[in-house]
Amino acid sequence: MRNLLFVLLVTLFLATACQRTPADSTTVASQADANFDSLKLRFVEEMWQLDPSSASYRGRHEFDSLLTIPTAAYLQQMKEWRTNWLDTLYRQDTASLSIANRIDYKLIRDQLVRGRWYDEEYKIHEWNPASYNIGSQFAVILNGRYASLDERMRALSGKLGKVPAYYDAAGSHINKPTLEHTDLAITQNQGALTVLGKAMEDSLAKSGLSEQEKVRYQQNLVSARTAIERYIDRLRTVRSTLTPATARNFRIGKEQFARKFELDMVAGLTADQVYQKALARKEELHRQMARVARELWPKHMGTRAVPADSLAMIRQVIDKLSLQHAHRDSFLVFVERQIPELIDFVNRKDLLTQDPDKPLVVRSTPPYLGGVAVASISAPGPYDSGANTYYNVLPLDNFSDQQAESFLREYNEYILQILNIHEAIPGHYTQLVYANRSPSIIKSLFGNGAMIEGWAVYTELMMLEEGYKNSPEMWLMYYKWNMRVTMNTILDYRLHTMNLSEQEGVRLLMEEAFQEEAEATGKWKRATLSQVQLCSYFTGFQAIYDLREELKKQQGNRFNLKAFHEEFLSFGSSPVAYIRQLMIK
Ligand code: ZN
Ligand code: ZN
């Protein structure tokens, strides 16, 4: 079982890819706004021309037969394109734009600045060979339902033909990679070979392509596979010459971490500030957990002696409460039953206005989605028209009894309710519904991850504060759940900037965050492969919570929770720092 953060990452992609119409639908658009709307469209179209792989991946299927080839000349072209667009943007008069367009302006600018930094200073394309992988873009077309099989087969054939050039370009950039990302690239590209496996031939056999087209497809498929194998061999050779002394360190260091944090989070807080807040939160969570666990001890642990070590005491009560879980056959029904309860609670407490016309359909995760997420939201992509929004729940069919038991304990009755708040109502799903009310292709494509995750994490606490399923047991489990995102930040920061050892990192997660060993070692591995992303949940949560508390103080008894939520959500998936500027008067 992969850990939940990976899952949330998948969700995040889906969550940011939800809106449909290509321009803001303001009722009285001024001339400045009209001009800026066409500028935005031009920007996006040029971007797709330069990066057809991403266009296809985001649902612009006329680009399916193309592949973005990352040659040195391509990087140079991107550099010039970014410079030109930044010049264009800096010449814009933003004062006369609507608020929605002013935010879009900043999102485009930030995207360009971030892209420039990634390519020219961070240079992840040189040291992370896993940056190159064609697997998922082929899987999306192969499993797509948007066009006939023949159409998709023709597109795939064209795309396959470009794979050798893609991997040639990829190989030319690799320069002193890390051991960890080299190993990852080998594993993931073996996965890409699987995508170009039997299913690609079976689909061809079922298609109505002409004999000539079939021959061409087969040839392209074989040379694409050979190109991936060559890339893997090349990485193996590189790998055999690397030692911990000669390889690049996976720790990116304080300076790059701070800059990446600033560019990716846009939360109005620095990496250091968020780290300090996470340390304080950890202490607070331990204090609260000890208090609740002591209170619950006689009820759940009977006359057994209370351990002197408070972390041990907390762990024992958590383990006991985790036995309270759904049956493996009723897991999906258990989730499904909670959705109306959540809707009802949000209405009863008047926390925000919900849209009854956009029901959330609970289903078992379809196999083509990979089946790693415990729960995730699938919303239609920005170029798809109003399809259903699904709440995918992991099927447990392939679990052994032992695996199922361990999974069900982790996602016990308490945690499952918090997960449903996070993923569905009033978390990700509700935020999507609000974001869709002022559809913007820019916010849909460049939505801010810390805002999206932060909102979902914020709603977990807010619902409990409002009394949802109020019990000490529920609070104890919530604290454990919240400790996970808090610890993600501490781990990420200390690993990249303070030389945290694996032994100490795993100990932190197991002893202080009450995680199982498999979960802790998995998280450590993930933290060595990513940078800053693990901070987004806590960072967004903290920034939103701080904003709410500040407004409460400012507005006194005029403060209204529903009004706060609705105004906050009205700006789409914008960075919290920009929403803050608009809400603090
Ligand atoms: Zn999430
Ligand atoms: Zn059990």
User: What does the pLDDT look like over 466-514, one tens digit per residue?
Assistant: 999 999 999 999 999 999 999 999 999 999 999 999 999 999 999 999 9
Distance CA 213, CA 219 (A): 10
CA 5–ligand 2 middle distance (angstroms): 24
Quote the pLDDT of residue 96. Answer: 92
Say what the pLDDT of residue 442 is: 93
Task: Give the number of the ligand closest to the Cα of residue 6.
Answer: 1
pLDDT value for 24 = 46
Using CB atoms within 10 Å of the CB of residue 348, give its burial: 0 to 12 exposed, 13 to 18 middle, 19+ buried.
exposed
- The number of the ligand nearest the C-alpha atom of 405 reads 2
d(CA 320, CA 322): 5
The rounded Cα 358 to chain-centroid distance in angstroms is 23
Q: For residue 427, how far is its CA from the centre of ligand 1 (angstroms)?
A: 8
Å from CA of 5 to ligand 1 middle? 8
DSSP state of 329: G
* Ligand having the closest approach to the CA of 373: 1
| Ligand 1 is an ion; residues with CB less than 5 A from it | 8, 11, 453, 456
**Residue-averaged pLDDT of the chain:** 91
Ligand nearest 541 Cα, by number? 1
Computed from CA positions of residues 184, 141, 44, 70, in that sequence, does the dihedral angle turn out positive or negative?
A: positive
Query: Is residue 543 a contact partner of residue 267, using CB atoms and an 8 Å limit?
Result: yes
Q: What is the pLDDT of residues 200-235, one digit of tens each?
A: 999 999 999 999 999 999 999 999 999 999 999 999
Q: Are 174 and 126 in contact (CB under 8 A)?
A: yes
DSSP state of 307: P
Q: What are phi and psi of 572, to 5 degrees?
A: 70, -165
- Identify the weakest region by mean pLDDT among 98-102, 144-148, 528-532, 573-577: 144-148
pLDDT at 104 over 80: yes
Q: What is d(CA 355, CA 372) in angstroms, rounded to the nearest whole number?
A: 29
Residue 386: band (very low, low, confident or very high) from pLDDT cuts 50, 70, 90: low
What three-state secondary structure class fits 341? helix
How far, in Å, CA of 468 to CA of 395, rounded? 27
Ligand nearest to the CA of 374: 1
pLDDT band of 140, cuts 50, 70, 90 = confident
Give 444's pLDDT tier (boundaries 50, 70, 90).
confident
How many residues in total does the chain contain?
Answer: 585
Distance 38 CA to ligand 2 centre (A): 58
Handedness of CA 430, 435, 438, 441 (dihedral sign): negative
Centroid of ligand 1 to alpha carbon of 481 (angstroms): 13
Integer Cα distance of 503 and 354 in angstroms: 46
Q: Which ligand is nearest to the CA of 323?
A: 2
Ligand with an atom nearest the CA of residue 321? 2
267 and 450 in contact (C-beta within 8 Å)? yes
Percent of the chain scoring above 90 in pLDDT = 81
How many Å lie between the centroid of ligand 1 and the Cα of residue 8?
5
Starting from the CA of residue 7, give the closest ligand. Answer: 1
Res 301 pLDDT > 70? yes
